[in-house]
Amino acid sequence: MTAAAPAGAPRHTVDAFHRGRFWLVQPADAGHRAGMDAMMLAAAIPTDFAGLVADFGAGAGAAGLAVVSRCEGARATLVERSPEMATFAEASLAHPANQHLSDRVTVLRADVTLTGRARSAAGLPDKQFGFVIMNPPFNAGEDRATPDALRREAHVMEDGLFEAWVRSAAAVVKPRGGIAIIARPESLAVILDALAGRFGNTEIVPVHPRADQAAIRIVVRGLLGARGKLTLRPPLVLHDASTKGLLPLADAIANGTATLFGD
């Protein structure tokens, strides 16, 4: 499927997600291209969630759109700092195949690291959201260096990033509201530090490419103000040794028919 990108936008593709239940207009050669990470992040939201979710660092909008695609009572605000990527998110919402979802999704051009009145003035007032999801840039500066500035902004972590993003999430979610984060396993310690004193009942799902290989991602979920213990849940394994495609549960998560935490 093709669609016209906004004037001056980079070359783009239009890609089906959730077996065609929504489509994403995203850059072909620059910036961040969404895939399984966004689908796993969206799958951290309980199916019966009914309320407003903020997708921090939304890019072209994959995770937020995946939430509203699966959760009939959900609405989403796609929060994106990059003007170029926000333009792609707006193009995704304008795509005719997304008309059935577009009245439940908005794009907000804002920097999630803003604080206090500046954050509220940017469109992120306190205690507005039932859930915040985030797929922040989690590559170290020396990892996967790229000459593309838009892609580097989407992938390379700034100092203090998790602390700043989680701090904002704690401000904008309602009491007992949720947070979900996808990241690399090596970021776990700094994520738990950022959650401490803010979010509890923390659950972690490690994601393994195969059962005999180390985890390549973690998905962390918690509730604002909760004080329950940390739980390490069973892993999600994407592939087995004899199959090129995804295993059944991973495939269901990728296509919006299952959740990562079983709810």
**Alpha-carbon distance 134 to 139, whole Å?**
15
| Chain segment 29-64, per-residue pLDDT in tens | 766 688 999 999 999 999 999 999 999 999 999 999
Phi and psi at residue 4, to the nearest 5°: -80, 130
Give all strands (DSSP E) within the chain, no chain letters: 12-17, 22-27, 51-56, 74-80, 105-109, 129-134, 173-183, 199-208, 217-224, 231-232, 236-237
Predicted confidence band at 1 (pLDDT cuts at 50, 70, 90)?
Answer: very low
The structure tokens listed for 84 are 């170029």
**Alpha-carbon distance 210 to 197, whole Å?**
34
Overall average pLDDT of the 198-222 stretch? 97
CA 8 to centroid of chain Cα atoms:
26
Phi and psi at residue 63, to the nearest 5°: -65, -45
Predicted confidence band at 198 (pLDDT cuts at 50, 70, 90)?
Answer: very high
| Chain segment 107-136, per-residue pLDDT in tens | 999 999 999 999 999 999 999 999 999 999
Distances (CA, A) of 203 to 77, 102, 112, 192: 24, 31, 23, 11
Using the structure block, give the residue that is written with the tokens 């783009």.
12
**Alpha-carbon distance 106 to 88, whole Å?**
13
Overall average pLDDT of the 125-152 stretch? 73
**Alpha-carbon distance 56 to 154, whole Å?**
12
Rounded to the nearest 10°, the torsion over CA 117, 120, 122, 127 is: 160
Overall average pLDDT of the 188-192 stretch? 97
CA 67 to centroid of chain Cα atoms:
10
Predicted confidence band at 156 (pLDDT cuts at 50, 70, 90)?
Answer: very low
Give SS3 for 84.
helix
**Alpha-carbon distance 59 to 31, whole Å?**
8
**Alpha-carbon distance 190 to 220, whole Å?**
12
Predicted confidence band at 207 (pLDDT cuts at 50, 70, 90)?
Answer: very high
Domains in the chain, ordered, with CATH?
A: 12-254 (3.40.50.150)
CA contacts within 13 A on the Cβ side of 139: 13
Q: What pLDDT does 30 receive?
A: 66
